[in-house]
Amino acid sequence: MTERRHTFWRDIVKYRTLLFMISPAVLLILLFSYVPMAGIVIAFKQFDYKGGIFGSPWIGFDNFKFFFQSGDAWRVTRNTALYNIGFMVLGNVLQIASAILLFEVGGKWFRKLMQSALFLPYFISWVVVGSIAYNFFSYDVGTINSVLTSFGMERIDIYNTPSYWPYILLFFHTWKFLGYGTVMYLAAITAIDTEMYEAAEIDGANVFQRIMKVTVPNLAPTFIILMLLAVGNIFRGDFGMFYNMVGSNGMLFSATDVIDTFVFRLLMDTNDFGMSSAAGVYQSVLGFVTILTVNYAVRKYDKDRALF
């Protein structure tokens, strides 16, 4: 024991510079990621400002009970998961398709031009996207309603009609990340050994067969990794998107409320720290279990593909 402790201190001295170099990041992560984990206790308390995190009285699982009994838990969990599944499926299909077409079609400048156009939406904030959405959908001045009225048709009240919103959100999410994914898949396509194409050509494959039999299967590793990450994050809503597109428009919450917006509203609008924290803990635990499960399953199937 003393021997081991001795080695430990000797190592500290030996690695003192490296430890010193890594310490700012270690301390920042400690403060802003690990310390808040202790604050999970708020979920089990009746939080009041006077008592603070540790002085407030315990109330056991009451916050969770309210969260689940109100039906909110099911609604926001379902919305979060369904939106993420939609984003994942539509996003990847379009990204793969546009990457393959970019690779197959046109000269260098055409490829560059298209890639620049597709990648552009990635660079703006969700606030700007919110402004674009307002420009399109506003009841009084929106572009869509300008077009409709110019054809003598009735205006549509998009901001008060929940049923449009799943499609709108699906559109804008796909729109914003199309270029990002295309660039990633294009890199994977470029890395494919050209000999495989030549072999397919000699075997008499036409371009479509070559794409389906050579390109697509070779994208599988990239696709699987992106899927794993997406499935692991299936209970994390994209707060920036939902908040800037929908805001505090209660008319739309049935179709658009996700766990993250729900947690935020409880915290900032109603100041219900206990229940907000309970919903947050529920999300964290759910996400953690999901990631571990997915990773465990992948490990069993193919060790190299696992995340950790």
Partner 1 sequence: MSEVAMKRKQKDKLLLDIIGYVVLIALALICIVPFVIILSSSFSDEEAIRMNGYTLIPSIFSTDAYRMIFKYPDDILQSYAVTITVTAIGTAVGLFLTAMTAYVLCRKDFKWRNHFAFYFFFTTLFSGGLVPWYLLIVNYLDMKNTLAALIIPSLVNVFYIMVMRAFLAGIPDAISESAKIDGAGDFRIFMSLILPLSKPALATVGLFLALGHWNDWYSALLFISDDKLMPLQYYLYQMLGNLDGMRKAMLGTGGVVDVNIPGENLKMAMTVVACGPILFAYPFIQKYFVQGLTIGAVKG
Tell which positions 46-85 bind partner 1, by CB under 8 A: 52-53
Q: Candidates 64-72, 73-81, 99-107, 161-169 — which segment interacts with partner 1 by CB under 8 A? A: 99-107
Nearer residue to partner 1 within complex by CB, 81 or 101: 101
CA gap 164, 159 in Å, rounded: 9
The CB-of-171 to partner 1 minimum distance in angstroms stands at 9
Q: Distance of alpha carbon 231 from its chain centroid, rounded?
A: 10
In terms of phi and psi (left: phi > 0; alpha: psi -120 to 50; beta: otherwise), the region of 193 is: beta
Binding positions for partner 1, 127-186, rule CB under 8 A: 127-128, 130-132, 134-136, 138, 140-143, 145-146, 149-150, 175, 178-180, 183-185
Indicate the residue among 85 and 187 with the shorter CB distance to partner 1: 187
Q: Which is nearer to partner 1, 70 or 201 (CB)?
A: 201
Which residue's CB is nearer to partner 1, number 74 or number 123? 123
Q: What is the smallest separation between the CB atom of 42 and partner 1, expressed in angstroms?
A: 6
Q: Which stretch binds partner 1 (CB under 8 A): 66-74, 79-87, 156-164, 276-284?
A: 276-284
* Four-residue CA torsion sign, 39, 44, 45, 47: positive
Single out the residue of 67, 83, 87, 264 in contact with partner 1 (rule: CB under 8 A).
264
Which position among 59, 75, 115, 166 is part of the footprint of partner 1 (CB under 8 A)? 115
DSSP secondary structure of the chain: -HHHHHHHHHHHHHTHHHHHHHHHHHHHHIIIIIHHHHGGGGGGB---TTTHHHHSPB-TTHHHHHHHHTSHHHHHHHHHHHHHHHHHHHHHHHHHHHHHHHHHSS-HHHHHHHHHHHHGGGGS-HHHHHHHHHHHH-TTT-HHHHHHHHTTPPP--GGG-GGGHHHHHHHHHHHHHHHHHHHHHHHHHHTS-HHHHHHHHHTT--HHHHIIIIIHHHTHHHHHHHHHHHHHTTT---HHHHHHHHTT-GGGHHHH--HHHHHHHHHHTS--HHHHHHHHHHHHHHHHHHHHHHHHHHHHH-GGG---
Q: How many residues bind partner 1 (CB under 8 A)?
A: 103
* Shortest separation between residue 178's beta carbon and partner 1, angstroms: 7
The least distance separating partner 1 from the CB of residue 8, rounded to whole angstroms, comes to: 10
Please say which residue, 1 or 191, places its beta carbon nearer to partner 1.
Answer: 191
Which x/- pattern over 200-239 shows residues binding partner 1 (rule: CB under 8 A)?
----x-xxx------------xx--x-------------x
Instruction: Name the minimum Å distance from CB 291 to partner 1.
Output: 6
Rounded least distance, CB 71 to partner 1, Å? 21
Q: Which residue has the tokens 């046109």?
A: 106
Smallest gap from Cβ 196 to partner 1, in A, equals 17
The one segment of 64-72, 84-92, 110-118, 160-168 that binds partner 1 by CB under 8 A:
110-118
> For residues 303 and 305, what is the distance between their CA atoms, to the nearest angstrom?
6
Is position 267 an interface residue for partner 1 (rule: CB under 8 A)? Answer: yes
Question: Which of 14/65 has CB closer to partner 1?
Answer: 14
